């Protein structure tokens, strides 16, 4: 491997992680926009996404199928897991997040924290042998027998990683179009900017909140599915770290700004994968370095990269 190809490999790994982090971070930003809450249960929604898609893979029996049926079932699994987890997200929003969001912001933080603990423990207790690491199957290898991965300019690309890349890019583009070009997207932006004024203009605020939680949770579920595919293993407490990283990414980008969340997610992932590769013993310290970069960023951009600058002066 030449040094250039090593560098390319690092960048590619960073993009893989970046897509996952961004999809989680977008949820944080969306929820903060419409409801002014930090939803700390979001990491566990991400974990639910991984488990639900694993269950669906087993239930549909897609691993025994082949050819066009296989592709169809794969797409079905991805979409169905997003819909199921999105629905669960709306359910949790109705019973927990919205009732507590009327109180002070910090109350909702603790309530969603408790919700996250409950979800995590529920999976541990009620999923068969839930406290063990579960194997997540490799999916696309089955379609291309004989070859594990393709090589491109000296870097090794697994098929599953290409799937992550493709799905990630498609979803991000669709999300941007949805937020910017549709009427629903417009109303979401309106509620995020000023919920009271928006409801005076006839916007059904509760509906928008439901829609937002559906989208955010579905995206987190997709990220969970990707994470399972990337590491080929899932565990009930994988959501704790993902939630923290997602929150960090959303804050670096500027809370409430969706593009900011995406930029923040990629930044965090790039710093992690670069420091894991370039610094000796880097893989142990990579999260330390990423958090140090977070602090530095916030010193120079106190309200995030794309956040609104608050001008307050006496």
Residue 28 C-beta: closest distance to other proteins, Å: 10
SS3 234: strand
Residue 156: strand pairing partners: 151
Directed axis angle between helix 3-35 and helix 258-278, to 10°? 150
Nearer to other proteins, 193 or 283 (CB): 283
Write the CA distances from 284 to 93, 272, 276, 290, integer angstroms: 36, 10, 8, 12
Please give the DSSP secondary-structure letter assigned to residue 202: T
Nearer to other proteins, 100 or 208 (CB): 100
Nearer to other proteins, 95 or 174 (CB): 95
What is the spatial distance between Cα 45 and Cα 23, in angstroms, rounded to a whole number? 12
Nearer to other proteins, 107 or 150 (CB): 107
Pull the structure tokens for residue 238: 């994988």
Residue 242 C-beta: closest distance to other proteins, Å: 13
Nearer to other proteins, 53 or 112 (CB): 112
* Phi/psi at 233 (5° precision): -155, 145
What is the spatial distance between Cα 262 and Cα 26, in angstroms, rounded to a whole number? 7
Nearer to other proteins, 154 or 302 (CB): 302
Residue 54 C-beta: closest distance to other proteins, Å: 21
Residue 4 C-beta: closest distance to other proteins, Å: 31
Residue 250 C-beta: closest distance to other proteins, Å: 9
149-152 vs 233-234, strand pairing mode: unpaired
> Where do we find the tokens 């109705």?
94
Spell out the residues 6+ positions from residue 201 whose beta carbon is closer than 8 angstroms to its own: 190
Residue 248 C-beta: closest distance to other proteins, Å: 6
Q: Which among 157, 133, 134 is positioned nearest to 147, based on CA atoms?
A: 157
| Residues in contact with other proteins by the rule CB under 8 A | 38, 96, 99-100, 102-104, 106-107, 109-111, 113-122, 125, 240, 244, 247-248, 251-252, 255, 281, 284-285, 287-288, 291-292, 294-295, 298-299, 302-304, 312, 314
Nearer to other proteins, 74 or 96 (CB): 96
Residue 251 C-beta: closest distance to other proteins, Å: 4
Residue 155: strand pairing partners: 152
């Amino acid at each position: 491997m030449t040094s250039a190809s090593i560098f390319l490999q690092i960048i590619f790994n960073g993009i893989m992680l970046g897509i996952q982090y961004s999809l989680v971070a977008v949820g944080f930003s969306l929820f903060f926009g419409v409801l002014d809450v930090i939803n700390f249960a979001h990491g566990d929604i991400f974990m639910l996404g991984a488990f639900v898609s694993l269950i669906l893979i087993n239930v549909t029996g897609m691993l025994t199928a082949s050819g066009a049926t296989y592709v169809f079932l794969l797409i079905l699994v991805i979409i169905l897991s997003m819909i199921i987890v999105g629905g669960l997200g709306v359910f949790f929003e109705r019973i927990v997040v919205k009732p507590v969001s009327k109180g002070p912001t910090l109350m909702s933080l603790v309530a969603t924290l408790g919700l996250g603990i409950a979800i995590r423990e529920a999976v541990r207790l009620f999923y068969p042998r839930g406290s063990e690491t579960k194997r997540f199957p490799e999916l696309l290898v089955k379609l291309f027998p004989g070859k594990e991965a393709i090589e491109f300019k000296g870097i090794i690309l697994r098929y599953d990683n290409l799937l992550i890349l493709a799905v990630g890019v498609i979803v991000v583009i669709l999300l941007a179009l949805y937020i910017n070009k549709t009427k629903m997207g417009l109303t979401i932006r309106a509620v995020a900017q000023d919920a009271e004024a928006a409801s005076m203009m006839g916007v059904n605020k509760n509906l928008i909140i439901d829609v937002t939680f559906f989208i955010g949770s579905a995206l987190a579920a997709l990220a969970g599915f990707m994470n399972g595919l990337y590491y080929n293993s899932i565990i009930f407490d994988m959501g704790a770290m993902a939630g923290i990283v997602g929150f960090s990414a959303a804050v670096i980008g500027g809370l409430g700004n969706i593009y900011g969340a995406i930029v923040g997610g990629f930044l965090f992932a790039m710093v992690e994968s670069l420091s894991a590769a370039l610094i000796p013993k880097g893989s142990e310290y990579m999260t330390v370095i990423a958090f140090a970069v977070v602090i530095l960023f916030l010193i120079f951009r106190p309200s995030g990269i794309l956040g609104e600058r608050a001008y307050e002066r006496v």
